[in-house]
């Protein structure tokens, strides 16, 4: 694993099945979107084929991290 790559595998990650795949996609979208690839999308869609569900997951992840980063950019006393 290279520096600044995130791994969501191993015994410390307790979700299984479709929930694990959805969580991996959501977290990678938020913190390392360059690691989201066609294989991960295909794996997610094998459990959730609906386009709307995929868009909700990706947009929620992006929006949540954008809000968090926005709080870091706020000047004190604003």
Q: What is the pLDDT of residues 15-72, one digit of tens each?
A: 788 999 999 999 999 999 999 999 999 999 999 999 999 999 999 999 999 999 998 8
**For the whole model, what pTM was predicted?**
0.75
pLDDT at residue 13 greater than cutoff 70: no
**What does R_g of the chain's alpha carbons equal in angstroms?**
15
**27, containing H or E segment:** helix 17-31
Distance CA 35, CA 74 (A): 28
Q: What is the DSSP letter of 56?
A: H
pLDDT of residue 74: 80
């Amino acid at each position: 694993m290279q520096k600044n790559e995130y791994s969501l595998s191993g015994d410390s990650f307790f979700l299984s099945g479709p929930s694990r795949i959805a969580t991996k996609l959501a977290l990678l979208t938020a913190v390392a979107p360059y690691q989201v690839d066609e294989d991960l999308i295909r794996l997610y869609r094998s459990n959730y084929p609906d386009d709307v569900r995929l868009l909700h997951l990706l947009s929620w992840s992006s929006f949540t991290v954008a809000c968090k980063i926005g709080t870091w950019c706020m000047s004190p006393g604003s």
